[in-house]
Structure 1
Amino acid sequence: MYKRIVLAFDSTVEGRAALREGALLAKACDAEVFLLSVLVESSSVLVAEGVLVGAAETHLESYQAVLDEGLVRLRRLGFSPTGKLVRGEPATEIGAFARQVGADLVVVGHRKRNLLERWWSGATGAYIVDNLDCSLLVARQAMSDQDFEAKLESLA
């Protein structure tokens, strides 16, 4: 069914849910896995860089560490993942990366936002859907390490 799956990953609970749900689906489909982490270039990072030289570089290093952690986890599960860290707006970068690797599925996490956050940042979810040429799975299933391991073993 799915042969090339992009997992949008960060260190949040939602990002880990996307990684786990996407990994389980990739195992079931025997799919190739691509891991993407997007460093959002927010105004706060740019202001911090103006005040404290090297702040953006420190932020970039922490995102790289998160990406590396995700790649290690996927390798332990038997995948040979390709990982990429990019800077920019997540919806745009996710769509561009999915096209670049010829993905047929993108898996993202979801965090509920309050009204002010939705107003401030816009309809990111709709934007992702409008800019993908493939299917989109919004991972919302939180699972414990034990549940994840059990589901993984059932696929073996």
Structure 2
Amino acid sequence: MPTFHRILLCYDGTREGQHALKDGACLAQELHAQVHVLSVLNHSAWMQGADITSSVSIEFITESARGLLDEGLQKLAARGLTATGHFAVGDPLDQIPLLANELNVDLIVVGHRHSSRLARWWGGRSDGLLLDRVSCSVLITMGPESVADSTVAGEATRPAEHL
């Protein structure tokens, strides 16, 4: 297995982001790796809701997103990890590879959210995969099933684990 010296954890506060942060922290501790955390304010998602968010200042939205980064850094600190935080505005599929290349990371850790074909089609994702945009390894964390997935399967679920 390759040695990962520099790890980039992508954190957005979602359930999937929580799992990426947790799994990445465990790996970083085992490998004694340098840790970076990236939170991206996705401007395309924000712009789609522009009619709703027009009454909300961009400063408030930016501060909320920066608060997520601080939350992720605090969770890592509680585990005894020192991490460097990075904040970006834009499309995560652009911002993650940009920072990964700039920092010369060995591994990127991201969470994955299951979506239906209709959701993928509706979202219009034609911009390619993260894997096509980076030259390092990528760890995609899944976490436990979501409530919607287990409800369909008729199973009980457990809440997302936090750091």
* Same fold, judged at TM 0.5 (above): yes
Higher helix share: 1
Q: Per-residue displacement from partner, 1:101-134 (whole Å, max 9, x unpaired)? A: 110000000001122321123166x520000110
Alignment of 1:21-32 (within 5 A): 21-32=23-34
Q: Secondary structure at the match of 1:37?
A: strand
Sort the Cα spacing of 1:122 and 1:53 in 2 relative to 1 into closer, same or farther, 3 A.
Answer: closer
Aligned length: 143
Q: Per-residue displacement from partner, 1:23-58 (whole Å, max 9, x unpaired)? A: 001111110100000111122354445x3261x222
**130-139 or 77-86: which moved more?**
77-86
* Equivalent residue number for residue 15 of structure 1: 17
Sort the Cα spacing of 1:28 and 1:4 in 2 relative to 1 into closer, same or farther, 3 A.
Answer: same
Sort the Cα spacing of 1:73 and 1:112 in 2 relative to 1 into closer, same or farther, 3 A.
Answer: same
Matched to 1:98, the amino acid is: A
* Equivalent residue number for residue 154 of structure 2: none
* Equivalent residue number for residue 81 of structure 1: 83
The Cα of 1:14 is off from its aligned counterpart by 0.3
The Cα of 1:95 is off from its aligned counterpart by 0.5
> In 2, are the aligned partners of 1:32 and 1:79 still within 8 Å (CA)?
no
CA distance in 2, matches of 1:85, 1:46: 21
Q: Per-residue displacement from partner, 1:76-97 (whole Å, max 9, x unpaired)? A: 2222200011011111100011
TM-score norm. by structure 2 comes to 0.80
Point out where structure 1 has 5 or more consecutive residues left out of the alignment. Answer: 149-156
**13-22 or 109-118: which moved more?**
109-118
Alignment of 1:121-136 (within 5 A): 121-122=124-125, 126-136=128-138
Q: Secondary structure at the match of 2:62?
A: helix
- Percent identity between the two aligned chains: 36
* Equivalent residue number for residue 52 of structure 1: 55
Task: Choose the corresponding residue for 1:109, options 101, 108, 111.
Answer: 111
Matched to 1:23, the amino acid is: A
- CA RMSD for the aligned pairs? 1.9
CA distance in 1, matches of 2:134, 2:60: 31
